[in-house]
Chain A
């Protein structure tokens, strides 16, 4: 059974990779199979890990008010399905509003507490940082200056309340350089990630065909 599964996986990998040559029926078959299997898998998983244990089983297990409180999420869940019926689609706005409200409330504190304040704190750096050795002092000080200049200039680039002329223009141009370096680093990492996926698949195929 394992052998059969391995050969199916190898065949489907080759079918997907065949798209690099040109679109073809093998690719289409593998693509549709993936979409179908994923959708089926999600349905089973959501029932088995969400609806059944957290709603159905809980409803049967709980007593008193705790039991009947579960009716609220159940009704909200059913209201979401109103989107399938154009005449009643507006009903789904209520549970969506509830979800958006919760997410916004949670995100607000998390963004301030976990992102904005710690990142501002991490940017308030001394221009001269005294290290154990001269080399460490110089290196750390240069790092701090680069961070300070980068943050200030990148912020200047996104300051649109005044025309970018004079010192503001110089600052925003330096800001663009920092942004481009950031985008370049991200792109480089993305290339590495994509090649890693290819390595993973080719290693698998070469193992199947006994070449590794």
Chain B
């Protein structure tokens, strides 16, 4: 049996082991690599930088544990940038199971930045029927969120006094692992003319580039690479930036597997 026949019949558990080591070793050795900032991430970052102090940003948490390694670093960097620029964050979500997960990061970053609940940010919680909620906020946010996530009336919080609908919201940022980013664009951005950028998983990012090219969104932060770039821009590299060397090395091994696999395939096919 030649080397290519062996490659063609390679035990797939060996491939899992190699990929596992390709990821684990750079993490253990704390390898560092330079991170180049892409135009779509810079554009998203600058959208927030250009907002006047006191502007309201609506953050929609539409992810859960299955995509936390990609989206959590984006959310943490986003909160830091908003609080540093003295922006008000209204936090809601369309995925019930993801809300408590993001709450950990919300609590950690608000404590770190000294943000005050009800003054600098508010958690409105989850409501079902996301398209109806998205459109309904265009009329009056209290129609769906009369109370916050703990059942306290939103009118009792100072920051909610002047927030009624999208005309009071300067920017929407969606943290999504599904299609909610597209729903925000189609149902809200086009209808109400609110600015938006999307923080999405690598799986979702390619579908959003058409919206970036058409100017419907101002930026995309996609996947761990996007998260790492955003962390660097915000000036506090964390899990995404530290994870990128492992990502790059794992990609090199995957490329090698694809190249050798194809060479082996063509050679064994020619022999037959």
Contact = CB atoms under 8 A, between A and B. Distances in A.
A45 B214 contact: no
Given A103-B131, A189-B205, A192-B202, A49 B187 contact: no
Interface string B207-225: 1001101111000001111
A24 B92 CA distance: 39
Nearest to B210: A119
Given A53-B151, A196-B70, A196-B223, A118 B251 contact: no
B108 interface: no
B223 to A, nearest CB: 5
B33 interface: no
B206 A189 contact: yes
A84 to B, nearest CB: 21
Best-surrounded residue of B68, B190, B239, B247 (most CB of chain A within 10 A): B190
Contact of B223 (A38, A103, A189): A189
Contacts of B247: 192, 195-196, 199
Interface string B1-42: 000000000000100100110011001101000000000000
Interface in A198-212: 198-203, 206, 211-212
A85 interface: no
Interface in A111-130: 111, 113-115, 118-119, 121-122
Nearest to A211: B28
B135 to A, nearest CB: 7
B127 interface: yes
B28 A191 contact: no
Contacts of B243: 196, 199-200, 203
A191 B223 CA distance: 10
Contacts of A206: 24, 27-28
B16 A20 contact: yes
B250 interface: yes
A102 B210 CA distance: 27
B96 interface: yes
Main secondary structure of the interface of B (DSSP, over half): helix
A203 B70 CA distance: 13
- SS class, residues of chain A in contact with chain B: helix
B28 A122 contact: no
Most buried by A among B127, B201, B254: B201
Nearest to A106: B131
Nearest to A20: B16
A192 B24 contact: no
B interface bracket (residues with beta carbon within 8 Å of A): 35 or more
Given A199-B246, A202-B24, A49 B214 contact: no
Interface in A83-114: 102-103, 106-107, 109-111, 113-114
B267 interface: no
Nearest to A117: B190
B158 to A, nearest CB: 23
Contact of A49 (B20, B96, B251): B96
A190 interface: yes
Most chain B beta carbons < 10 A, residue from A103, A147, A197, A201:
A197
Given A46-B96, A211-B28, A193 B187 contact: no
A42 interface: yes
The CB with the most chain A CB atoms within 10 A, among B28, B191, B206, B215, is that of B206
B187 A110 contact: yes
Given A49-B125, A118-B190, A206-B28, A190 B214 contact: no
A107 B186 CA distance: 9
A50 interface: yes
Contacts of B191: 109-110, 113-114
Contacts of B222: 189
15 contacts: A20-B13, A42-B97, A45-B96, A106-B131, A106-B135, A113-B186, A114-B186, A114-B191, A189-B202, A192-B247, A195-B254, A198-B250, A200-B70, A202-B20, A212-B27
The 9 A-B residue pairs with the shortest CB-CB distance in the complex, in nearest-first order:
A200-B69, A114-B186, A122-B214, A193-B202, A114-B190, A196-B224, A110-B186, A189-B202, A192-B202
Given A189-B202, A192-B202, A192-B224, 10 more contacts: A49-B127, A118-B211, A119-B214, A193-B223, A195-B251, A196-B202, A197-B66, A197-B70, A199-B69, A199-B250
